[in-house]
Structure 1
């Protein structure tokens, strides 16, 4: 398959890519995975991602935001700096932001406060939101319903049917990762993905995490890469009973429209 596909979520600034980041980008391009959208997860990470993406205009974009794990390090100055980053042409969304009650690396009240601030920033700038939710669905949706959210994608969706229905009802887009390739944990996703309209469906690797479990030639170090996105696309296509080429075109067009690239 030679169709272009977009990886909407890759943690390219992760330390596991420090030795070969350029090669990873080149390998992705060779596999028709382009452009890549780098995920910003902290202020430092978002700054580094924006700087790096600026070296590859049209090939790399990035989000700018604070992951709930890092919310404890957030302050008013952080919002100012995120707003500055959002003005750069390569920055296409606010996030990764949201709530994570699974690990509670930041206190829950702090998570809620700074999640709200990032929603307000996205609304003020009329930018999409790149969202994270884990074991926090009631609070997560309650907060989002309080604001005029422009556009939002629930990144790395792994939830239930009722949660998916709620997100779609709220007008959100859905990001599907290699979780769907896991015959144990991701089996339910193979059914649920059929409920997602093509104009709301996007795909991502979340590299270096979530390496597809059924990948034939697994990397020895276990690291996921954006070049593996075609494998995820093929799985999604089989679940929907559609040609991979059609799914590539649909998810690419949806991502372009959503991020304005």
Structure 2
């Protein structure tokens, strides 16, 4: 089934795995009906790169500016100044990717917590929504978020993987939810598949998180096993089937929700 107006809210398009054929990846996304992409900033340098790339494609790209929890130990006054500068102008539409990741602990947990809180403060000050990450850190993630949520204009937990208890805790905090190709993996995605129908339509968005999380059940996998925005329609169809909705209706609603959340042109 073809699509004509999808929004991928999480694409790491500045990642080195796209260096050899980025233009072709963008063209394939357009051909697959992905008309909007929000490029993810994960560090000061990557946020700047995402902003430059998005600015070169203003009709189809915007970007986020932030520091991923893996990079939290790099947070400094200089880093903050870079993020503030990016946040003050187009094409930046959100602060993040920010949050907590206790799965790998690439940065000390105390650094992650401080970096997360600082970016939530920054999002509130700049009047931008927060683009959030959480892995194996539910209690601390929710505790920090609760302290800042009232001041935020919006927040989305990107790449949500479950379980239902976390989903409803996030919904109670008025969070939006981003769903990736994780839902296409029957081995790891069971918790998400079980609760995706609980997400209110007005809070649900879709994403690829490319080049990561290639949907496991794609029939013809690329030789390099790299995910890309052109596969967003596959994620959409899986989500729609699990919610007992038509893919066309879900495409329209997720695009509408993303336009409102990120204040994209035309909404």
* TM-score normalized by the length of structure 2: 0.96
In 2, distance between residues paired with 1:2 and 1:236?
15
Q: Secondary structure at the match of 2:56?
A: coil
**Aligned residue in 2 for 1:195:** 198
| 1:238 equivalenced with 2:241 (yes/no) | yes
How many angstroms apart in 2 are the aligned matches of 1:29 and 1:94? 25
2:236 matches 1:213: no
CA distance in 2, matches of 1:136, 1:128: 21
User: For structure 1, which segment, 144-153 or 115-124, has the greater mean C-alpha deviation from structure 2 after superposition?
Assistant: 144-153
Distance in 1 of aligned mates of 2:102 and 2:18: 28
The answer to whether the 8 Å contact 2:134/2:157 transfers is yes
Distance 2:184 2:102 in 1: 25
Contact residue 65 and residue 97 of structure 2 kept, 8 A: yes
Within the alignment, does 1:149 sit opposite 2:152 as a pair?
yes
| Deviation at residue 128 of structure 1 after TM alignment | 0.6
In structure 1, the partner of 2:53 is 52
Cα RMSD (Å)? 0.8
Take 1:193 and 1:185, find their aligned partners in 2: how far apart are those partners?
A: 14
Q: Deviations over 1:74-103 (max 9, x none)?
A: 101211110100122111000000011111
Give the Å deviation of 1:121: 0.4
- Does residue 95 (structure 1) correspond to residue 79 (structure 2)? The answer is no
State the partner residue of 2:170.
167
Q: Partner of 1:25 in structure 2?
A: 26
Indicate yes or no: 2:109 matched with 1:118: no
Are positions 1:185 and 2:182 aligned together? no
Q: Contact (CA 8 Å) 2:64, 2:96: kept in 1 or not?
A: yes
* Aligned mates of 1:64, 1:190 — CA distance in 2: 30
Aligned length in residues: 261
Matched residues in 2 for 1:47 and 1:96: separation? 13
| SS in structure 2 of the partner of residue 54 of structure 1 | helix
Gapped runs of 5+ residues in structure 2? Answer: none
Q: Distance in 2 between matches of 1:183 and 1:134?
A: 19
